[in-house]
């Protein structure tokens, strides 16, 4: 009989970190990237309202009391690096069943 260990209960919050909340935000951020909805149309690097909100909340989840704005995060490390960082961080708490 194979047994899985859950590091964090699905409903648990640890130091203001919520895995289910973060996972949903992460999935939304990936979808925004896939559909080219991270930046407003027009060529500049202005975040859409939804992308800004998702990045802000994800930043708070993985970095605690984050001082940087969503625009600062994107300007400093870029969207792809931010997605990669969030993915690696969330993987700490995932079980085989959570991964998709």
In angstroms, the CA 25 to CA 53 distance is 9
Q: What is the mean pLDDT of residues 61-85?
A: 85
- Which residues is 13 bridged to in the sheet? 18
| Neighbouring-strand partners of residue 17 | 14
For residue 32, which phi and psi values (nearest 5 degrees)? -60, -40
pLDDT per residue over 7-50, tens digit each?
Answer: 555 556 667 789 999 999 999 999 999 999 999 998 788 999 99
CA 91 from centre of chain? 11
């Amino acid at each position: 009989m194979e047994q899985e260990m859950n590091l964090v209960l699905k409903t648990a919050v640890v130091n203001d970190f919520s895995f289910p909340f973060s996972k949903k935000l992460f999935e939304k951020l990936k979808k925004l990237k896939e559909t080219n909805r991270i930046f407003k149309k027009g060529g500049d690097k202005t975040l859409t309202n939804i992308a800004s909100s998702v990045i802000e909340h994800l930043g708070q989840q993985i970095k605690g009391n984050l001082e940087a704005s969503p625009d600062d995060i994107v300007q400093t490390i870029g969207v792809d690096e931010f997605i990669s960082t969030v993915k690696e961080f969330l993987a700490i708490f995932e079980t085989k069943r959570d991964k998709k």
